[in-house]
């Protein structure tokens, strides 16, 4: 079975500082990894996804993530935080071990990002 661990339930940064949100996965088969963002009272929006085409994935709003198989990690970064980045971020995994059930993602517990002026 696959699982996802997000280290740090809360991360606080200053505006303009580097954002680093950590995600480690556990999977016995090649994983497909996703980062989603959720703003208050809204659904989840995809930031980026890893589909094995490239280990460094660029997403929307200046975010990127690097897949490191040796470390089983898929950390999310952004060089310079903006006030509008304040939200909750979720890492998720899907594997083909689930057969053809592509609607099922396994999510981490989420990381709330706070950005200080």
Partner 1 sequence: KAGVTQTPRYLIKTRGQQVTLSCSPISGHRSVSWYQQTPGQGLQFLFEYFSETQRNKGNFPGRFSGRQFSNSRSEMNVSTLELGDSALYLCASTGGWSITGELFFGEGSRLTVL
Q: Which residues bind partner 1 (CB under 8 A)?
A: 32, 34, 36, 41-46, 49, 51, 90, 94, 96, 98-110
Which residues lie across from 117 on neighbouring strands? Answer: none
* Least separation in angstroms between CB 92 and partner 1: 8
Helix (H, G, I), strand (E, B) or coil at 13: strand
CB of 50 to partner 1, least distance (A): 9
Q: How many helices (H) and strands (E) does the chain have?
A: 0, 11
- Fill in the DSSP letter of residue 82: -
Cβ at position 96, least distance to partner 1 in Å = 6
Residue 86: DSSP 8-state: -
Is the CB of 36 or the CB of 81 nearer to partner 1?
A: 36
What is the smallest separation between the CB atom of 53 and partner 1, expressed in angstroms?
9
For partner 1, give the closer residue by CB, 1 or 83: 1
Kindly tell me the burial class for residue 67, based on how many C-beta atoms sit within 10 Å of its own C-beta (0-12, 13-18, 19 or more). Answer: buried
* Residue 60, both tokens: 């929307």
Q: Which is nearer to partner 1, 57 or 115 (CB)?
A: 57
């Amino acid at each position: 079975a696959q699982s996802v661990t997000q280290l740090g339930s809360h991360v606080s940064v200053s505006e303009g500082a580097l954002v680093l949100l950590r995600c480690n996965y556990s999977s016995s088969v090649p994983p497909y990894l996703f980062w989603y963002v959720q703003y208050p009272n809204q659904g989840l929006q995809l930031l980026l996804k890893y589909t094995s085409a490239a280990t460094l994935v660029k997403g929307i709003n200046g975010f990127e993530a690097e897949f490191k198989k040796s470390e089983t990690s898929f950390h999310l970064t952004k060089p310079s935080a903006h006030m509008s980045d304040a939200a909750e971020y979720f890492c998720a995994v899907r594997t083909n071990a689930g057969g053809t059930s592509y609607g099922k993602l396994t999510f981490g517990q989420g990381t709330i990002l706070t950005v200080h002026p």
